[in-house]
Structures are given as structure tokens and as C-alpha cells.
Amino acid sequence: MKVSTLVIAAAATLANAALAPIEIKGNAFYQKGNDTRFYIRGVDYQPGGSSELADPIADAKGCKRDVEYFKELGVNTIRVYSVDSSADHDECMKALDDAGIYLLLDVNTPHQSLNRADPDPSYNAAYLQNVFAIIDKFKDYDNTFGFFAANEVINSVDGANTTEAAPYVKAVVRDMKAYIKAQAKRKIPVGYSAADVQTSRFQQMQYFNCGDEDERIDMFGMNDYSWCGDSSFEKSGYKANVDQYTGYSIPMFFSEFGCNKGTQNGRPFTEIEALYSDKMSSVYSGGLVYEYSQEDSNYGLVELNGDSVKKLKDFDTLKKQFAKVQDPSGDGGASTSSNSTGSPCPSYDEKTWMVKEDDKVPPMPSEAMDYIKHGAGKGLGTAAPDTQAGATSFPPAGSGTANPDSLPSGSGSSSDSSSSGSSSGSSSSSGAAGAVKVPQVFSSTAIIPSVMLAAAFVFGVNTVF
Ligand SMILES: *[C@@H]1O[C@H](CO)[C@@H](O)[C@H](O)[C@H]1NC(C)=O
Ligand SMILES: *[C@@H]1O[C@H](CO)[C@@H](O)[C@H](O)[C@H]1NC(C)=O
Ligand SMILES: *[C@@H]1O[C@H](CO)[C@@H](O)[C@H](O)[C@H]1NC(C)=O
């Protein structure tokens, strides 16, 4: 009897070792099989910055070193901005899982991303192949929280010209959802991470949550730097946002926060108290602090130097705040009813939102249908072609078959026989990584904080600042 008790106990421990996947009900997150709401307590993890493809979770040693600090901070989620679609991530993902940490992942890289200045050519099947290959690498981990289809593509602070890229972002959302439905074992949330621009933020929330359900995001991340120093719920603008966003039908959270303006002596992180209080929890589900490592933009919690990690003052302050502030009790005011209509689509407005209500989301390039049907094939990583200016050849699809009944209708009308495999091999010659040097963005004169430019830069968007 004793022995069997032990066996059961051991089995239970093993089962608990794996995090339960995140699910969405109404406008909140839950761990599968658990009715208690899940709030993101996260940090953005982008050691080395964003100017070239750097994959911090392919570096098992660095990852395991940093997981100890994530645990000490008390975080349950990290966000990573770009990964190598050819790399192995098993060791890091296991270390994160063992530590109770989920991954929110952006599927873009500096050379495979939408170009907001000229989105049409940058939305092509070779680009989507890289996106899908990244999904393949992460779809089987239970601690993959979800994916961001894009980050800060719309970033006009003055005027609305970048809002014209919104239909392309929505197309990527739709394609990712179709790919996940066809190729993954579970539903994995797909979101968008919006820049801190007030002019069009509400329209973005509406737009990405309106129209056909297959094209709508599952969650909305906002990069928000409005609480600086010892601000307050009212002064920061948080209250006004809660008032305006109440009733939004899907989960919303800060995909970046932690303003450092006027905080030479360290950030107090007093916004943590507001964010995890019932003043905000009916609308927000927590957030991720920008950012783990100290980089040029001066938002770091630790300084990395070779193998050494030095905690900075902000590390201790954030750790104390996370420890002090508990999640709201009960459901925190979340709505559990699913809302099948979503938001109304925003109206065209020359000054803020230049997408017309009848502007169509561009159709998926027909060559990409093979990926949906047969899998993305090999992840090319840094050898993938630069797809921003268009693509003439497409990496071959995989040899799998899609889940039955998962294929999107109306797409891929071209005949099956026009296999994308015919261009096999061309990718390596056409896409020498590093051939195109992405310009630095920090010299920008834009008035948005550099941190947002840094984050926007992971798109590799060409010099539009
Ligand atoms: C259920 O979720 C809550 C909130 O994330 C967590 O604190 C709790 O440990 C979970 N319970 C189980 C049995 O996993
Ligand atoms: C939008 O307008 C701004 C300001 O006029 C300009 O700097 C930027 O390059 C434009 N962006 C696009 C995508 O056209
Ligand atoms: C669905 O959610 C939207 C906001 O996302 C809201 O405007 C609308 O009233 C909701 N509809 C229902 C039936 O609750």
C-alpha cells in the first residue's frame, strides 16, 4: 500500500511538471482544467537587442542561467521577439516549463517581416513559410502561451499613414490561425502587439477584433509606457483606458510596460499595484515588463556580461512589487461569455484610421496553401531569404497532411499540381543572411520613445521612421 501511494504521488508530480496550456474564455486567460484566472506576470526577453536575428532561447546555457532570475523575480511568462526557425529549443522550453514559465512568441525576424512602408510585396508565401516554420517549432510545447502575428507595425504618432498596413497584419493573423488549425494539436492563441500610440489604439483594438472570426485576433497586447515614476491610476491614463476599453470581448494585457522617463534613481514599478487590482482586472490580464537585460535604451533589470548576470536596482524593486501584489480574488470581473460578433469595425478617418470598412483583407498567396495542407517543411533560420521586398521562390512544403476539415475555404484556388516544391533549393542562393543590412533605428527623430522603436525594429521594417 505504501508503495502504491508513492507511485501515485510520483506520477502526480510528473504530471504537474508540465504546465497546462493556456486557454481563453471570454476576455480572460485560464490554465486548462483550472477555473482560476491566469494573469500574466512577465518580462520581455531580448538580450542583445533586436537589430539582427538573435534567438535567446536557442541558447540553452544562457536560457538556463536566466531562468533562475526569472524564478527569483516571480514571473510566469516571458516574451521573445524573434527566433531562428531552424534551431532547437527543447532544452530551454523544458527549463522554462519546469520553472512554471510560459512563452509568448513573436513570429517575425528582421528579414522576414511585413514592411509597413510597402506592405504588399512583403506579404508573400516565402515570408509565411518562415512564420509557419516558427509555429511548427513551438506548437507542441504546452508552455507556448501564444504567438504575436506582429509588433507595432502601425506606429504613426501623427497622421495615419501606417494604419494602411493593418489589413496585411490581419491577413497574417488569419493565415496563422488557419495553419494552427490544420497543423497543430491544440488551439494556440494568436495576437497582435500594438505600439503606444494614442491616435489609433482604439481603432486597432476594434479592427483586429472585428469581422470574420477566422481573421480576428484572440488576444490584444499593448505596449504601454504611460505610467512613469510614481504616477497614479488616474494620472497615468490607465483609468481613462479602462473606461474606454470596458466590454472589449477578448483578453488584453500589456505586452510591454515600465516607463523609465524621469526615473534616474530607478523605476518604482508602482503600476504593478494598479495593474493587478480589481480596478483594472475586468479589462486587463497583467503584463510584461520591458525588459530583462540592460541594452542601449536603458530598460534593463539585469546586466549581462558573458556568463555573468548582475542584478540592477530595478530587479529588486520589481521583485518586491510582484511579491507584494496578489492577483485579484475571484474572477476579477472577467467576462466568461464568448462574444461571437466581436467589435464593430472602425470607420475611416483621414487623420487617424485610413482603412475603409469595405477594404478587403488581402487573400493568402496561393503558394502558401501547400504549407497549410502539408506543413511548412524545413525551417530555414538565418538562411531564409529576405522576404521584405517580395519573393520569387518559395521553400518546399512539408509532407504531412492537414487535420481533416481544417482547410480554409475560398483560398488557394490555384490547382493542387502547381506545387511550391518546384522552387526547391532556391532559397539558399537567394537569401544570404546579412546581405541586406537593416539600418539602425536609434538615430530616429520620431517622438515615440526609443524603446518602441527598438521593439518595432524586430520587424525589420525598413527605415520608415
Ligand atoms: C490554478 O491557477 C491558479 C492561477 O494561475 C494557480 O495559482 C493554481 O496553482 C492553479 N491550480 C492548479 C491545481 O494548477
Ligand atoms: C508616414 O508619415 C511620416 C511623417 O510624414 C513619415 O515620416 C513616414 O515615413 C510615413 N510612413 C509611411 C509608412 O509612409
Ligand atoms: C461584443 O464585444 C464588443 C466589444 O469587443 C462589444 O462592443 C459588443 O457589444 C459585444 N456584444 C455582445 C453581444 O456582448
SS3 labels along 105-126: EECCCCCCCCCCCCHHHHCCHH
The grid coordinates of residue 253 equal: 494585457
* Residue 260 within a domain: yes
Phi-psi region of 261 (alpha: psi -120 to 50; beta: other; left: phi over 0): beta
* Residue 336 within a domain: no
- Rounded Cα distance, 294 and 272, in Å: 20
Q: From the CB of 161, is ligand 2 less than 6 Å away? A: yes
At 409 the pLDDT is 60
3-state secondary structure of 145: strand
Q: How many angstroms is it from 38 CA to the middle of ligand 1?
A: 8
- Rounded Cα distance, 113 and 31, in Å: 31
- Rounded Cα distance, 380 and 430, in Å: 12
The answer to whether the beta carbons of residues 352 and 199 sit under 8 Å apart is yes
* Residue 75 within a domain: yes
The answer to whether the beta carbons of residues 76 and 100 sit under 8 Å apart is yes
The answer to whether the beta carbons of residues 460 and 430 sit under 8 Å apart is no
Residue 276 is which amino acid? Y
Q: Cell 533562475 appears where?
A: 68
Nearest to 121 by CA among 165, 85, 84, 179: 165
Q: Any catalytic annotation for residue 72?
A: no
The grid coordinates of residue 215 equal: 481573421
Which residue lies with its CA nearest to atom 13 of ligand 2?
117
Out of 215, 256, 291, 367, pick the active-site residue: 256
At 412 the pLDDT is 41
* Residue 254 within a domain: yes
* Residue 296 within a domain: yes
Residue 247: φ, ψ to 5°: 100, -5
Phi-psi region of 271 (alpha: psi -120 to 50; beta: other; left: phi over 0): alpha
Nearest ligand (C-alpha, residue 330): 1
Residue 215 is which amino acid? E
Count the Cβ atoms, other than its own, within 10 Å of residue 294: 18
Please give the chain's pLDDT, 465 residues, in tens: 344 444 444 444 444 458 999 999 999 999 999 999 999 999 999 998 777 788 999 999 999 999 999 999 999 999 999 999 999 999 999 999 999 999 999 999 999 999 999 999 999 999 999 999 999 999 999 999 999 999 999 999 988 999 999 999 999 999 999 999 999 999 999 999 999 999 999 999 999 999 999 999 999 999 999 999 999 999 999 999 999 999 999 999 999 999 999 999 999 999 999 999 999 999 999 999 999 999 999 999 999 998 899 999 999 999 999 999 999 998 999 999 888 899 999 999 999 999 998 899 999 999 999 999 999 999 999 999 999 999 988 999 999 889 877 877 644 433 333 333 333 322 322 222 222 222 222 222 233 333 443 333 333 333 222
Which residue lies with its CA nearest to atom 13 of ligand 3?
339
Please classify residue 343 by burial: count the beta carbons closer than 10 Å to its beta carbon, then call 0-12 exposed, 13-18 middle and 19+ buried. buried
Among 13, 34, 281, 322, which is best to mutate for testing ligand 1, by the most ligand atoms less than 8 A from CB?
34
Out of 52, 72, 91, 152, pick the active-site residue: 152
- Rounded Cα distance, 111 and 126, in Å: 11
Q: Which residues pair with 44 in a beta bridge?
A: 79
Q: Which residues pair with 259 in a beta bridge?
A: 228
* Residue 76 within a domain: yes
Distances (CA, A) of 442 to 162, 228, 418, 460, 465: 19, 21, 44, 13, 10
The answer to whether the beta carbons of residues 191 and 218 sit under 8 Å apart is yes
- Rounded Cα distance, 198 and 156, in Å: 9
Q: How many angstroms is it from 191 CA to the middle of ligand 1?
A: 23
The answer to whether the beta carbons of residues 268 and 303 sit under 8 Å apart is no
Q: How many angstroms is it from 338 CA to the middle of ligand 3?
A: 9
- Rounded Cα distance, 291 and 102, in Å: 16
At 431 the pLDDT is 26
* Residue 160 within a domain: yes
Nearest ligand (C-alpha, residue 26): 3
Q: Is the dihedral of CA 373, 84, 119, 217 positive or negative?
A: positive
- Rounded Cα distance, 256 and 230, in Å: 18
- Rounded Cα distance, 434 and 438, in Å: 8
Q: Cell 482604439 appears where?
A: 202
Q: How many angstroms is it from 34 CA to the middle of ligand 1?
A: 6
Q: From the CB of 159, is ligand 2 less than 6 Å away? A: yes
Among 152, 156, 441, 444, which is best to mutate for testing ligand 2, by the most ligand atoms less than 8 A from CB?
156
Which residue lies with its CA nearest to atom 14 of ligand 3?
339
Nearest ligand (C-alpha, residue 246): 3
Q: From the CB of 162, is ligand 2 less than 6 Å away? A: yes
Which residue lies with its CA nearest to atom 8 of ligand 2?
464
At 251 the pLDDT is 98
At 27 the pLDDT is 98
Ligand 3: atom nearest CA of 337 is 14
Among 30, 36, 39, 97, which is best to mutate for testing ligand 1, by the most ligand atoms less than 8 A from CB?
36
- Rounded Cα distance, 26 and 335, in Å: 5
The answer to whether the beta carbons of residues 174 and 215 sit under 8 Å apart is yes
Which residue lies with its CA nearest to atom 12 of ligand 2?
117
Count the Cβ atoms, other than its own, within 10 Å of residue 30: 20
What is the tally of structural domains in the chain? Answer: 1
The grid coordinates of residue 70 equal: 526569472
At 48 the pLDDT is 84
Which residue lies with its CA nearest to atom 8 of ligand 1?
36
Ligand 1: atom nearest CA of 38 is 5
At 146 the pLDDT is 98
User: What's the CATH code of the domain at 204?
Assistant: 3.20.20.80
Q: Any catalytic annotation for residue 152?
A: yes
Ligand 2: atom nearest CA of 158 is 4
Among 207, 216, 220, 249, which is best to mutate for testing ligand 3, by the most ligand atoms less than 8 A from CB?
249
Ligand 3: atom nearest CA of 340 is 1
Q: How many angstroms is it from 390 CA to the middle of ligand 2?
A: 21
Estimate the share of the chain in helix, then strand, then coil, as percent rounded to the nearest 5: 30, 15, 55
Distances (CA, A) of 410 to 171, 365, 396: 14, 12, 22
Q: From the CB of 38, is ligand 1 less than 6 Å away? A: yes
Enclosing domain of residue 176: 27-324
* Residue 14 within a domain: no
- Rounded Cα distance, 229 and 262, in Å: 7
At 456 the pLDDT is 38
Residues for the chain: how many in total? 465
